[in-house]
């Protein structure tokens, strides 16, 4: 159903090892970060008598980057459906993961006596579903994505330097050059800002007139929602107008299409950002690396352009 998912999928919520301790964690597409924080502010830790959000900030936690160790991979990296993976965990070595000791008895005695954290997990899960499915304005925030994309440029640049990236010549030519990618990411930020300005205008129009939405405003809102939902899918390297010259997908791993997220070439679990660029770095082909920078920049730029209302 991948074509159907690319056409209509809004988000994928993944829970794998749901509860193995008291500490909440999450990895997600940046589009889902703000909605997650809203939800965590409404769910209390069953022991600490604080909201999960307040504990999150006390611990200075951050939403992680999705790797490739669970079922969200097909949705995020292949179908372009924004995904989130979350749960509660304990000590790294305290959970008998995938062993004969991973039993109901272990959970009731050690993992989560009374199933209180399972209850909190269900609350987070359900509130995420309600937020994403019932709000008139689908709560996906592109501003967070723009910030993440910018930080990922630093990550991939550091990785390239670590792996012997060539330096530009005396005229500033050649070398590892992410100028085009910087421009594309900046464009995402500008498009996101305009989108927020439109959202503010829409709220003023609707709630300033007794919460009455005209047919024209409803049509514009549907267009807005489609554009935000499509943003992640626009980051796929697939055949479409403006990207009709194949091959498409990661070389040798063509099932992976996302130009921002994908599993690392030599690791089955670790996350990797800008995978087209990273794979070329791992192959040590610096001409290909620059080609993949330009390709990634073109796709990110087109995704930013499509956001404009």
* pLDDT at site 266: 79
CA angle 269, 235, 203 (to 5 degrees): 115
Measuring CA to CA, which residue among 259, 300, 298, 297 is closest to residue 279? 259
Structure tokens at 53: 């959000």
* pLDDT at site 264: 87
3-state secondary structure of 171: coil
- Alpha carbon distance 192, 146 (integer Å): 8
Query: Which residue is associated with the tokens 């794998």?
Result: 16
CA-CA-CA-CA torsion sign (239, 241, 246, 252): negative
* pLDDT at site 172: 60
Total residue length of the chain: 309
3-state secondary structure of 64: strand
* pLDDT at site 225: 97
CA-CA-CA-CA torsion sign (252, 264, 129, 96): positive
Structure tokens at 78: 């292949």
Query: Which residue is associated with the tokens 């990236």?
Result: 165
Helix or strand run (H / E) with residue 129: helix 116-134
Give Dmax over CA atoms of the chain in angstroms. Answer: 68
- Residues in contact with 295: Cβ distance below 8 Å, sequence separation at least 6, in sequence order: 237, 259, 276
Specify burial of residue 243 (Cβ count, 10 A radius: 0-12, 13-18, 19+): middle
Measuring CA to CA, which residue among 190, 177, 184, 179 is closest to residue 149? 184
* pLDDT at site 171: 67
Query: Which residue is associated with the tokens 């000590």?
Result: 91
The 8-class DSSP code of residue 213 comes to P
Look at phi and psi of residue 102 and say left if phi exceeds 0, alpha if psi is from -120 to 50, else beta.
beta
Structure tokens at 107: 């959970």
Q: What is the pLDDT along the chain (309 residues), one digit of tens a residue?
A: 999 999 999 999 999 989 999 999 999 999 999 999 999 999 999 999 899 999 999 999 999 999 887 899 999 999 999 999 999 998 776 778 888 988 999 999 988 999 999 999 999 999 999 999 999 999 999 999 999 999 999 999 999 999 999 887 766 666 799 999 999 999 999 999 999 999 999 999 998 888 899 999 999 999 999 999 999 999 999 999 888 888 899 999 999 999 999 988 877 677 789 999 999 999 999 999 999 999 999 999 999 999 998
The pTM of this model reads: 0.92
């Amino acid at each position: 159903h991948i074509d159907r998912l690319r056409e209509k999928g809004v988000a994928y919520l993944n829970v794998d090892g749901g509860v193995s301790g008291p500490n909440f964690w999450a990895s997600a597409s940046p589009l889902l970060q703000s909605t997650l924080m809203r939800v965590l502010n409404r769910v209390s830790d069953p022991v600490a008598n604080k909201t999960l959000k307040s504990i999150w900030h006390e611990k200075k936690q951050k939403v992680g980057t999705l790797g490739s160790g669970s079922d969200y991979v097909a949705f995020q990296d292949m179908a372009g459906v924004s995904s989130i993976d979350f749960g509660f965990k304990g000590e790294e070595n305290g959970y008998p993961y995938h062993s004969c000791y991973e039993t109901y008895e272990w959970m009731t005695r050690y993992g989560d006596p009374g199933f209180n954290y399972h209850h909190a997990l269900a609350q987070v899960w359900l509130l995420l579903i309600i937020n994403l499915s019932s709000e008139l304005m689908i709560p996906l925030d592109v501003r967070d994505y723009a910030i993440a994309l910018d930080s990922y440029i630093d990550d991939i640049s550091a990785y390239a330097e670590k792996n012997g990236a060539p330096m530009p010549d005396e005229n500033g030519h050649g070398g590892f050059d992410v100028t085009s990618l910087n421009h594309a990411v900046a464009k995402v930020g500008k498009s996101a800002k305009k989108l927020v300005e439109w959202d503010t205008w829409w709220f003023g129009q609707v709630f300033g007139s007794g919460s009455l939405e005209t047919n024209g405003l409803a049509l514009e809102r549907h267009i807005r929602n489609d554009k935000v939902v499509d943003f992640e899918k626009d980051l796929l390297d697939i055949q479409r107008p403006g990207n009709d010259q194949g091959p498409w997908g990661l070389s040798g791993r063509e099932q992976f299409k996302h130009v921002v997220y994908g599993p690392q070439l030599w690791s089955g679990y670790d996350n990797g950002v800008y995978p087209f660029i990273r794979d070329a770095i791992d192959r040590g082909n610096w001409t290909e690396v620059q080609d993949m920078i330009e390709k990634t920049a073109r796709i990110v730029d087109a995704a930013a352009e499509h956001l404009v209302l």
